[in-house]
Amino acid sequence: MAALFDITTEEDIVLLVDAFYAKITHDATIGFIFSEHMEEALEQHLPVIYTFWQSVLLGTQTYRGQIMQKHIELNSRVALTSEHFETWYQHWIQTIDAQFAGPLAEQAKQRAQTMKELMLFKISQSKNEGFIQ
């Protein structure tokens, strides 16, 4: 078995994200969200996700989107559940563990856990009158 290295470059992020999306788009629990409910094609979505994770893990500060708002809008088209987010998270962990090991790989897993919890909270709160993101 080859030694695993940490996530250190933008190319590592692309490798991780591509492998991850190759899995989740075919997942029985969440694959339909990407094929039936996304506003943009995956080819347009992936570069946005690259910059998000590059900003989070490498500090590039290139991401300019509104991740919470996008998921709240998506939730208005398809009810996003804790099962959806847990499936997303488990695939993320498995994809990282298959390809990387090190402090940034661990941080990528921790950040995903935090995002999962925050997204579920914000989505539930978005249904309340007077919700402010």
pLDDT tens-digit readout, 40-84: 778 888 999 999 999 999 999 988 888 888 888 888 889 999 999
The tokens describing 77, both together, are: 């088209």
Q: Domain ranges in the chain?
A: 10-125
* Residue closest to 126 by CA, chosen among 73, 67, 64: 73
* Residue closest to 40 by CA, chosen among 70, 75, 84: 70
pTM (two decimals): 0.90
pLDDT tens-digit readout, 4-28: 999 999 999 999 999 999 999 999 9
pLDDT above 90: residue 2 = no
How much is the average pLDDT of 79-90? 95
10-125: CATH number: 1.10.490.10
Q: Angle at CA 65, nearest 5°, toward 60 and 92?
A: 70
